[in-house]
Structure 1
Amino acid sequence: MILELADIRIQAGRQVEFDVAIQHGLNSVIAHAKGFCGYKVNKGIESPDRYLLMIFWENLENHTVDFRESPAFAAWRAIVGPFFASPPTVEHFDLLAKSE
């Protein structure tokens, strides 16, 4: 399983709207993507305009090819993109260890 980590910065004062939009986009678009295995979203406490989006994929290509090259990506960006203060930083990770 691959972890996609997106560090998202949104426009100041739009947290309430974005909270609704990101959950809508995740549940209506990303949750139906090939290889999707789940997600978590964390909101910043010290930086309320910062969000960490974690999406779990079966493999890297499910995100980088199957999703990013599909019409679903444009649908996702149409939902969340208007809130971005800058483009998100996105990286992928393999699991090294976890607690029981």
Structure 2
Amino acid sequence: MILELAEICIHPGQQAEFDVAIQRGLNEVIAHAKGFRGFKVNKGIESPERYILMIFWETLENHTIDFRGSEAFAAWRSIVGPFFAVPPVVEHFDLLAKSAQV
């Protein structure tokens, strides 16, 4: 399984609206993508405009080719993109180890 990690910074004062939008985009768009395995979203406490989005994919290509090359990517960006203060920083990771609780 591949972890997509995206750091998202939104415009100040739009947290409540973005909270709704990101959950809508994840549930209505990304959750139906090929290879999608789950997600987590964390929002900043000290920096309330900063979010960490974790999406779990079966393969790297499920994200970089299948999803990004689909119409669903445009739908996703139309839902969340207007909130972005800067383009998200996105990286991919392989699991090395984990605790039993996570």
TM-score scaled by length of structure 1: 1.00
Q: Unmatched 5+ residue regions in structure 1?
A: none
Task: Write the distance in 1 (CA, Å) between the matches of 2:72 and 2:31.
Answer: 11
1:19 is matched with 19
Deviation for aligned residue 1:51: 0.2
Deviation for aligned residue 1:91: 0.1
1:41 is matched with 41
1:50 is matched with 50
Residue type at the aligned position of 2:32: H
Q: Does 1:64 align with 2:64?
A: yes
Count of residue pairs brought into register by the alignment: 100
Deviation for aligned residue 1:64: 0.1
TM-score scaled by length of structure 2: 0.98
Residue type at the aligned position of 2:33: A
Identical aligned residues as a percent: 80
Task: Write the distance in 1 (CA, Å) between the matches of 2:88 and 2:98.
Answer: 26
> Helix, strand or coil: the match of 2:81?
helix
Deviation for aligned residue 1:22: 0.2
The alignment yields a C-alpha RMSD, in angstroms, of 0.2
Task: Write the distance in 1 (CA, Å) between the matches of 2:4 and 2:82.
Answer: 21
> Helix, strand or coil: the match of 1:75?
helix
2:75 is matched with 75
Task: Write the distance in 1 (CA, Å) between the matches of 2:84 and 2:92.
Answer: 20
Task: Write the distance in 1 (CA, Å) between the matches of 2:87 and 2:99.
Answer: 32
Task: Write the distance in 2 (CA, Å) between the matches of 1:9 and 1:24.
Answer: 18
Task: Write the distance in 2 (CA, Å) between the matches of 1:75 and 1:99.
Answer: 35
Task: Write the distance in 2 (CA, Å) between the matches of 1:75 and 1:3.
Answer: 21
Q: Unmatched 5+ residue regions in structure 2?
A: none
